[in-house]
């Protein structure tokens, strides 16, 4: 797509994708390139600081947030394949730096050009047909809207819109879709019994949906749900939206 | 104040989550209140609903910012209507005001309509110690009182009890034959309470709102018990938190639209009762005395803290409890004090003291559902985060919520993530730990099947793998893949 040829997007790939799900990152790169975007990857990047911020360690979060401000200072667009890491940059950085005029201005500038993957595709690249990325998926899919994507960023229709246009893909409704999967970062190990209760219900609803694949825009939620599905010997696969859109993904 | 058990949250929530009966009861609420609430929003449309919410919040912001002014205005107008306003700085002071009235007016029998603030004060035991008969007249509260328990929900106090539980309780406490027909049980309570309404010397009510411009106390109920409590006995005492004041009758209409719809999904409750002062000389009935006790009991601490002030906007509708995935699994009692659920996890620490309740703000996945349903747009997740900040790094060790190791790990994490080089080494170490299993299975920190960690024998990870698998580290990180095959320099 030549229409996007002039667009350069730098990836903030997230530590979860970097360390645990590099294939998701590869699919993100492939999809963006198929859409004509010039993809960059500042290699000094690590983590946005969300795990420490959500646990109450603002100083540590600030240290990591400053690195992100620095690394993406000159980016045209920043694309993040995670609703909650994108929310950290867009929403929580403004809280982290609300006592520092200079850094707050930088944080606002970064927030203004940072997009979660699905909203970048739909709202910036104006993709209205997933076939534009060459996507095709034979099978049934159900979608879990992750909480921060939905409620911090207000991204609701974009991933659905992309999924609906994937040739061959049949979408199944997910009961209680907007209920949290129970991950919540350190919450999942601080209160494992409550987290387990929540993911158990999520898994039951996914199984009842009849879908063979669960799709979401956050690998941390999918790590939680996928881990529970695997423990229950379920054959249901978990995939990031980028993997569904990427025809080369297995 | 009633016994504080917020310190036992982990143990209490662990027990609660295993109780299938509790879960069924909690699910019924989700079905009932939550679905009805959504229906009400749908019929007025989301846009209109959002407009109502914004308007109500604006009123709350304005009132709380000018609380001293409106409290004075309220005082003036309560007095002008022939009533008396008392201000209590804490539970002891509030209880003593009631006790004084009980002693000096020779009170023998008290009927109470639902009041969470009276629960907060631990008022009933104080009255009983004075030799007074105390009757809770809200059906749910009556059940709870018979069972000698505390409310588990802001608007449905006996929510954790099934009809079978209540039938057994009535048989045990009232000596009547076992009958689980809800109408029969309600009729039994009604018959008993009807006599008490007529005999009572003192009626105690809470207040959903108090209107400054008229000195009016407003309660909304579905059972009519509230109106009997406030009109039949010769003395009426209303007790509520000082944040419940609103400027005007016009403002009241904004809240009357929101509260029933948010709480139970009703367009309006069966009764909206407004009480302004005692009976006038030409009134046929009504109390001879009207007292309004406004309670601080920790609320000025919230007022003084800009990060937590908006907790004072709460109208106690309970919508955040009904939607909360944590509350809906553990119920109200696990929270260990009067106010449960997401808003309780903010309010309780402020009222009982953060050192005792520092665990509550941690017990949330910060999913944001509570903020979404709140009729006055209270940003509960933000306040939970603020309390986490206050407890994570406090120089005062009684405030710190986590064991020392968590602070060490947080610092280590920031160090590791501040240095791509260190992180690379960390990943290599992780891959080595995974390989250890093949070499020395007995001493391995992990049990894997190649693709998944099935069992981690490391403190924090083991909490995860107790019920879930964890993916193993892949052969290459995204960083490594980028450098090898993805970077435009290579293509």
pLDDT digits (tens, 9 = 90+) for B450-482: 889 998 888 889 999 999 999 999 999 999 999
Cα B352 to Cα A219, B127, B301, B402, distances in angstroms: 38, 22, 11, 19
Is A65 within a domain?
Answer: yes
Question: Does A160 contact chain B (CB < 8 Å)?
Answer: no
Distance CA B325, CA A173 (A): 20
Q: Which residues touch A218 (CB under 8 Å, ≥6 apart)? A: A82, A83, A84, A146, A148, A149
Distance CA B311, CA B121 (A): 19
Q: Which of A123, A145, A167 is the last residue of a domain?
A: A123
Half-sphere exposure of A103 (CA within 13 A, CB side): 17
Is A145 within a domain?
Answer: yes
For residue A44, the chain B residues in CB contact (below 8 A) are 420
Mean pLDDT of A100-120: 98
Distance CA B50, CA B41 (A): 9
Distance from CA of A179 to the nearest CA of B (A): 7
Q: Is the pLDDT of residue B30 over 80?
A: no
Q: Which residues touch B154 (CB under 8 Å, ≥6 apart)? A: B116, B316, B317, B318, B321, B339, B340, B341
Tokens of B13: 């929530």
- Same domain, yes or no: A69 and A118: yes
Which domain CATH number covers A77?
A: 3.40.50
Length of chain B, in residues: 491
Give the model's confidence band at B421: pLDDT under 50 very low, under 70 low, under 90 confident, else very high: very high
- Same domain, yes or no: A30 and A107: yes
Question: Does B147 contact chain A (CB < 8 Å)?
Answer: no
Distance CA B424, CA B417 (A): 10
Distance CA B365, CA B355 (A): 21
- Same domain, yes or no: A104 and A190: no
Q: Which of A73, A90, A123 is the last residue of a domain?
A: A123
Topology classification of domain B61-300: Rossmann fold (3.40.50)
- Which residue, A5, A14, A3, is CA-closest to A86? A14
**From A43-52, A95-104, B449-458, the region with the lowest mean pLDDT:** B449-458
- Same domain, yes or no: A8 and A116: yes
- Same domain, yes or no: A162 and A58: no
CB B2 within 8 A of CB B119: yes
Q: How many domains does chain A have?
A: 2
> Using CB atoms and an 8 Å cut-off, which of residues 322-341 of chain B contact chain A?
325-326, 329-330
DSSP letters of B195-242?
HHHHH-SEEEE--SEEETTTTEEEEEESSSHHHHHHHSSSEEEEEEEG
Tokens of B449: 């099947």
Mean pLDDT of A138-163: 97
Tokens of A128: 């209205």
Q: Do B466 and A192 touch (CB under 8 A)?
A: yes
**Residue with the larger pLDDT of the pair B2 and B352:** B352
- In percent, the amount of chain B with pLDDT more than 90 equals 87
Q: Which of A123, A145, A164 is the last residue of a domain?
A: A123
Question: Does B38 contact chain A (CB < 8 Å)?
Answer: no
Tokens 């406004």 map to which residue? B294
- pLDDT of A3: 66
Half-sphere exposure of B194 (CA within 13 A, CB side): 6
Beta-bridge partner residues of A139: A169
- Same domain, yes or no: A113 and A145: no
Nearest-by-Cβ selection for A58 from B389, B411, B471? B389
DSSP letter at A37 equals P
How many degrees, rounded to 5, is the angle at CA B416 between CA B412 and CA B420? 170
Distance CA A48, CA B257 (A): 42
Is A128 within a domain?
Answer: no
Tokens of A28: 């993100």
CB B46 within 8 A of CB B365: no
Count Cβ atoms within 10 A of the Cβ of residue A9 and give its class: 0-12 exposed, 13-18 middle, 19 or more buried.
buried
Domain range for residue A63? 2-123
Q: Is the pLDDT of residue B438 over 90?
A: no
- Same domain, yes or no: A9 and A117: yes
- pLDDT of A203: 98
pLDDT digits (tens, 9 = 90+) for B198-256: 999 999 999 999 999 999 999 999 999 999 999 999 999 999 999 999 999 999 999 99
Q: Do B466 and A196 touch (CB under 8 A)?
A: yes
- pLDDT of A248: 93
Give the model's confidence band at B31: pLDDT under 50 very low, under 70 low, under 90 confident, else very high: confident
- Same domain, yes or no: A54 and A89: yes
- Same domain, yes or no: A170 and A241: yes
Is A108 within a domain?
Answer: yes
Tokens of A168: 């061959």
- pLDDT of B393: 87
Is A129 within a domain?
Answer: no
Q: Do B368 and A151 touch (CB under 8 A)?
A: yes
Is A201 within a domain?
Answer: yes
- Same domain, yes or no: A143 and A235: yes
- pLDDT of B131: 97
Cα A53 to Cα A179, B383, B394, B410, B489, distances in angstroms: 22, 13, 15, 10, 35
Distance CA B263, CA B322 (A): 9
Distance from CA of B442 to the nearest CA of A (A): 22
Nearest-by-Cβ selection for B362 from A45, A190, A199? A190
- Same domain, yes or no: A236 and A213: yes
Alpha helices (H) along A6-114: 15-19, 22-34, 50-55, 58-71, 83-87, 93-96, 101-113
Q: Do A147 and B367 touch (CB under 8 A)?
A: yes
- HEC secondary structure over B287-308: CCEEEEEEECCCHHHHHHCCCC
A139 phi, psi to nearest 5 deg: 150, 180
Return the number of other C-beta atoms located less than 10 Å from residue B307's C-beta.
15
Is A250 within a domain?
Answer: no
Is A185 within a domain?
Answer: yes
pLDDT digits (tens, 9 = 90+) for B118-147: 999 999 999 999 999 999 999 999 999 999
Distance CA B207, CA B162 (A): 28
Q: Report domain extents, chain B.
A: 61-300, 423-486
Alpha helices (H) along B289-403: 299-304, 319-323, 327-330, 341-352, 354-357, 369-373, 380-392
DSSP letter at B443 equals T
- pLDDT of B446: 83
Angle subtended by helix axes B67-80 and B46-65, to nearest 10: 90
pLDDT digits (tens, 9 = 90+) for A5-40: 689 999 999 999 999 999 999 999 999 999 999 999
Rounded to the nearest 5 percent, the helix, strand and coil shares of chain B are: 55, 10, 35
Distance from CA of A223 to the nearest CA of B (A): 7
- Same domain, yes or no: A110 and A171: no
- pLDDT of B490: 54
Handedness of CA A85, A59, B359, B350 (dihedral sign): negative
Q: Is the pLDDT of residue B397 over 60?
A: yes
Q: Do B392 and A56 touch (CB under 8 A)?
A: yes
Q: Is the pLDDT of residue A2 over 60?
A: no
Mean pLDDT of chain A: 96
Mean pLDDT of chain B: 95
Distance CA A85, CA A92 (A): 10
- Which residue, B120, B334, B155, is CA-closest to B243? B120
pLDDT digits (tens, 9 = 90+) for B292-302: 999 999 999 99
């Amino acid at each position: 797509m030549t229409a996007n040829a002039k667009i350069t997007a730098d990836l903030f790939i997230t530590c979860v994708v970097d360390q645990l799900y590099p294939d998701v990152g590869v699919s993100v790169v492939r999809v963006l390139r198929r859409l004509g975007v010039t993809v960059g990857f500042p290699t000094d990047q690590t983590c946005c600081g969300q795990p420490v911020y959500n646990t109450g360690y603002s100083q540590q979060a600030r240290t990591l947030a400053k690195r992100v401000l620095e690394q993406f200072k000159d980016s045209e667009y920043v694309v993040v394949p995670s609703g909650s890491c994108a929310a950290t940059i867009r929403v929580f950085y403004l809280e982290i730096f609300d006592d520092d005029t200079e850094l707050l201005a930088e944080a606002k500038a970064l927030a203004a050009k940072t997009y979660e993957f699905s909203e970048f595709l739909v709202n910036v690249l104006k993709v209205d047909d997933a076939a534009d990325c060459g996507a095709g998926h034979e099978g049934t899919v159900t979608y879990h809207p992750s909480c921060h994507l939905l409620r911090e960023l207000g991204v609701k229709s974009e991933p659905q819109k992309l999924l609906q246009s994937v040739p061959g893909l049949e979408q199944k409704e997910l009961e209680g879709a907007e209920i949290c999967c129970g991950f919540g970062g350190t919450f999942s190990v601080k209160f494992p019994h409550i987290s387990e209760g929540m993911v158990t219900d999520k898994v039951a609803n996914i199984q009842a949906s009849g879908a063979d694949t669960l799709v979401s825009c956050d690998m941390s939620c999918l790590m939680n749900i996928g881990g529970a599905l695997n423990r229950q010997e379920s054959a249901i696969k978990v995939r990031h939206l980028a993997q569904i859109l990427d025809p080369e993904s297995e | 104040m009633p016994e504080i058990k917020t310190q036992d949250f982990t143990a209490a929530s662990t027990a609660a989550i295993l109780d299938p009966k509790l879960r069924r009861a909690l699910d019924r609420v989700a079905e009932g209140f939550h679905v009805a609430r959504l229906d009400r929003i749908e019929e007025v449309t989301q846009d209109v609903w959002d407009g109502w919410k914004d308007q109500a919040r604006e009123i709350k912001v304005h009132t709380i910012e000018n609380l001293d002014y409106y409290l004075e205005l309220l005082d003036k107008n309560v007095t002008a209507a022939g009533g008396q306003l008392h201000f209590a700085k804490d539970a002891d002071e509030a209880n003593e005001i009631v006790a004084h009235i009980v002693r000096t007016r020779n009170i023998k029998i008290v009927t109470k309509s639902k009041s969470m603030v009276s629960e907060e004060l631990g008022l009933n035991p104080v009255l009983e110690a004075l030799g007074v008969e105390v009757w809770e007249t809200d059906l749910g509260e009556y059940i709870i009182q018979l069972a000698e328990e505390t409310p588990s929900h802001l608007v449905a106090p006996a929510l954790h009890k099934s009809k079978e539980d209540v039938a057994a309780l009535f048989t045990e406490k009232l000596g009547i034959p076992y009958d689980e027909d809800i109408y029969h049980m309600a009729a039994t309570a009604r018959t008993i309470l009807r006599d008490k309404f007529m005999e009572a010397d003192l009626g105690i009510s809470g207040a959903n709102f108090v209107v400054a411009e008229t000195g009016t106390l407003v309660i909304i109920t579905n059972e009519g018990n509230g109106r009997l409590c406030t009109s039949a006995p010769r003395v009426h005492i209303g007790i509520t938190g000082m944040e419940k004041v609103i400027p005007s009758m016009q403002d009241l209409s904004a809240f009357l639209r929101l509260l029933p719809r948010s709480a139970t999904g009703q367009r309006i409750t069966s009764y909206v009762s407004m009480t302004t002062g005692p009976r006038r000389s030409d009134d046929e009935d009504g109390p001879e005395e009207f007292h309004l006790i406004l309670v601080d009991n920790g609320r000025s601490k919230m007022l003084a803290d800009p990060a937590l002030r908006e907790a004072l906007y709460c109208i106690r509708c309970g919508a955040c409890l009904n939607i909360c995935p944590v509350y809906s699994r553990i119920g109200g009692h696990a929270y260990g004090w009067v106010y449960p659920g997401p808003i309780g996890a903010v309010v309780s620490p402020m009222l009982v003291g953060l050192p005792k309740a520092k665990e509550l703000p941690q017990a949330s996945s910060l999913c944001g559902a509570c903020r979404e349903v709140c009729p006055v747009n209270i940003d509960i997740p933000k306040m939970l985060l603020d309390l986490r900040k206050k407890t994570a790094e406090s120089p005062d060790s009684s405030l710190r919520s986590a064991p020392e190791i968590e602070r060490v790990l947080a610092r280590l994490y920031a160090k590791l993530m501040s240095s791509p080089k260190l992180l690379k080494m960390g990943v290599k170490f992780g891959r080595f730990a995974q390989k250890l299993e093949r070499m020395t299975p007995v001493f391995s920190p992990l049990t894997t099947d190649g693709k998944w960690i099935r069992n981690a024998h490391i403190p924090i990870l083991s909490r995860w793998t107790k019920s879930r698998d964890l993916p193993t580290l892949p052969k290459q990180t995204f960083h490594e893949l980028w450098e090898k095959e993805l970077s435009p320099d290579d293509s």
